[in-house]
Structure 1
Amino acid sequence: MGDSQKAILNILDDSSAEKLRIEATQKAILNILDDASAEKVKIEATQKAILNILDDSGAEKLRIEATQKAILNILDDIGDERDKADHLNSEMAVEIAERKRVEQELETQQQELVNSNKELEAFSYSVSHDLRAPLRAIDGYGRILTEDYEGYLDQEGRRLLSVISSETQRMGQLVDDLLTFSRLGRQQLQSSDIDMTTLAQAVFQEWSALDAYRALQLELKPLPPARGDRALISVALGNLIANAIKFTRNRDPAVIEIGSRQENGLSVYYVKDNGVGFDMKYAHKLFGVFQRLHSTEEFEGTGVGLALVQRVIHRHGGRVWAEGKLDEGATFYFSLTDMKGEL
């Protein structure tokens, strides 16, 4: 091989080596570029992460600010509620003080009323008791005049003495009723179980015997037992039955019904008659002392009987009321506690 060929081969070898170096350089550059690109991606990712962190920080800041604002609002509301509570407490304190004052006044008035009632009862008892003696004297002198001086009196004189006697007796009955009424306010209740059917039968027989000439028809229903003061319940029943007998005087037949019913857990008893009845617009006057719906000329009485009934029933924790219609009769009701009730 000549020198020229060797030179050419050397040149070619150098060219190949150069080409390899260039390719290596290119590859290195490409690697560098790839690394740069990857680094760029990392940088961009880092930037994005930083931005996300900044966004999260902003959102967290907003949440913190919102939370702070909510807390401030709650504190404001608590302050408002505290102010309202303080105002309400002040109002309640004033109201409680006012209520205590009113309760104290009511208690004082109630005590004054109790004292007044006691004084009135004592006065009524004293007056009624003191009236008995002069009434007995008047009645006694009237009988003496009638028996010993009848021959000296004309018909008008005898009539006047008869009027004096009857009015004295009526006044005596009124005094007795007032004494009973006064005594009922002070009498201690003696509680016991009461066979109301037996009691009603006995009381009716007692009062009907006073009008033995009349044919009185009794319709007595079975009555539930009650608990109370037997003597006082007898007084109440007696007055109701006596009224029924009296106000059926012009009825033939005179029918008196005694029965009961249950109402709100209480036994309600009634005495019903087919007598003259009454106008319901005057029902509120029935149970007042000295209140009468009929004149003395029509029907005798003192106007105390139904007041006695009301006092007895009220003392037993019950109530009394009436229903009626003119010329069609009346029904009087009263309630009592059952066998388990306490006075």
Structure 2
Amino acid sequence: MSALDEKIPAVSPTETACADPLRRAAFRSLEAIGSLLATAGEAVILLTTQVDRLLSDQAERLATINRDLAAFNHSVTHYLRAPLARISDLSRLLQERYGGSFEPEVLDYLERVGSSSQYMSELIEALLDLSQLSYQNLKREVVDLSKIARQTADELRQGAPERRADFIIQPHIRTVGDLRLLEIALKNLLRNAWKFTSMRETACIEFGACQSAGPSTCFVRDNGVGFDMSNAQRMFQAFQRLHSGAEYPGYGIGLTTVQRIISRHGGRIWAEGEVGKGATFFFTLGGV
């Protein structure tokens, strides 16, 4: 007997008899695990197939909704705007051709008809633009928000040269997003500030960005009439006015449009203000 054989203990018949049931139990356990894995694999394949089918059905329904919405927009454009344009044209022609023979009261009625039809036509156009924001594809590129703010400030000054206004625009604020949509959003916010500072001797409107613990936040601040903070959420709902339409004209969907654009870019918008002390609109965007 070698030295190696002396070191290997002998296996008794009792130990061999105990090992066989253990081997059989282990084998049965492995078979059960294999069967469970096979069943789980089949379940995963079935679930994946169902999810793919649901996603395909959802995509098809979404495409159908978008087609229906486009058709609806076309119908609105054709069947509502065209009659309104005719009403506006007819009231204008009546004023031009027969205005001299009408009573002042009749002329006032015709003026109201023309202005109301024009307002309705512009409102329909704004609503169509708002509806399209939900399904338009975003064309992402680097957007210089500071440049848009400067151009908008120049446009506002040129449109009302008699007004005194100080614009404070922080330079080099850039983001990645859809240029056309972000331009609509920022112009809406700046025009909103311009409108609600119209009663101030000198309007002060500021555009900038600040960095906090979260994503970069842009803001538009003004020294206008402000608002009650209890209405902070309501102002982003369509047709919700916090101020008189006679003093501050508009369609009541500007901030709704802004919110939808910001949301499409994965950001959020909120407002802070105080009655008589101005307002600040904050919004976040990726890549600022």
User: Structure 1 length as normaliser, TM-score?
Assistant: 0.65
**Alpha-carbon distance change, 86 to 272 in structure 1, aligned in 2, over 3 angstroms:** farther
Structure 1 residue 300 corresponds to structure 2 residue 273:
no
Matches within 5 A, 1:73-112: 73-112=22-61
Structure 1 residue 220 corresponds to structure 2 residue 174:
no
DSSP-derived class of the 1:176 partner = helix
Match of 1:136 in 2: 85
CA RMSD of aligned residues (A): 3.7
Distance 2:69 2:119 in 1: 22
**Alpha-carbon distance change, 324 to 293 in structure 1, aligned in 2, over 3 angstroms:** farther
Q: Highest Rg: 1 or 2?
A: 1
Q: Post-superposition shift, 1:179?
A: 4.2
**Alpha-carbon distance change, 222 to 83 in structure 1, aligned in 2, over 3 angstroms:** same
Match of 1:152 in 2: 102
Q: 2:123 aligns with which of 174, 186, 209?
A: 174
More divergent stretch after superposition (164-173 vs 320-329) = 320-329
**Alpha-carbon distance change, 167 to 203 in structure 1, aligned in 2, over 3 angstroms:** same
Structure 1 residue 272 corresponds to structure 2 residue 221:
yes
**Alpha-carbon distance change, 336 to 109 in structure 1, aligned in 2, over 3 angstroms:** same
Q: Post-superposition shift, 1:171?
A: 1.2
Q: Post-superposition shift, 1:278?
A: 5.5
- Residue type matched to 2:156 in 1? W
Match of 2:64 in 1: 115
8 Å contact from structure 1 (residues 217, 256) kept in 2: yes
Match of 1:69 in 2: 18
- Cα displacement string for residues 27-73 of structure 1 (whole angstroms, at most 9, x for unaligned residues): xxxxxxxxxxxxxxxxxxxxxxxxxxxxx9xx8344x6436535632
**Alpha-carbon distance change, 161 to 321 in structure 1, aligned in 2, over 3 angstroms:** same
Matches within 5 A, 1:211-250: 211-250=160-199
- Cα displacement string for residues 248-292 of structure 1 (whole angstroms, at most 9, x for unaligned residues): 344555332211235799654322334423546762771x6x342
Match of 1:198 in 2: 147
**Alpha-carbon distance change, 125 to 262 in structure 1, aligned in 2, over 3 angstroms:** farther
Match of 1:7 in 2: none
Match of 2:4 in 1: none
Match of 1:333 in 2: 283
**Alpha-carbon distance change, 281 to 89 in structure 1, aligned in 2, over 3 angstroms:** farther
Distance 2:49 2:223 in 1: 52
Larger helix proportion of the pair: 1
**Alpha-carbon distance change, 267 to 282 in structure 1, aligned in 2, over 3 angstroms:** closer
Structure 1 residue 321 corresponds to structure 2 residue 269:
yes
Q: Post-superposition shift, 1:194?
A: 3.6
Q: Unaligned stretches of 5+ in structure 2?
A: 1-6
**Alpha-carbon distance change, 244 to 277 in structure 1, aligned in 2, over 3 angstroms:** same
Q: Post-superposition shift, 1:201?
A: 0.4
- Residue type matched to 2:219 in 1? Y
Distance 1:293 1:92 in 2: 57
- Residue type matched to 2:185 in 1? A
Distance 1:248 1:108 in 2: 50
8 Å contact from structure 2 (residues 168, 206) kept in 1: yes
- Residue type matched to 1:83 in 2? A
8 Å contact from structure 1 (residues 279, 324) kept in 2: yes
More divergent stretch after superposition (245-254 vs 117-126) = 245-254
Distance 1:334 1:96 in 2: 40
Distance 1:337 1:182 in 2: 26
- Cα displacement string for residues 127-172 of structure 1 (whole angstroms, at most 9, x for unaligned residues): 12543332222222222334432552243x3443333233222212
Distance 2:60 2:231 in 1: 33
Distance 1:164 1:150 in 2: 18
Q: Post-superposition shift, 1:303?
A: 3.5
Distance 2:221 2:140 in 1: 27
Q: Post-superposition shift, 1:80?
A: 2.5
Q: Unaligned stretches of 5+ in structure 1?
A: 1-55, 339-343
Indicate the percent of aligned positions where both proteins have the same amino acid.
28
User: Structure 2 length as normaliser, TM-score?
Assistant: 0.75
Match of 1:164 in 2: 113
Q: Post-superposition shift, 1:337?
A: 3.3
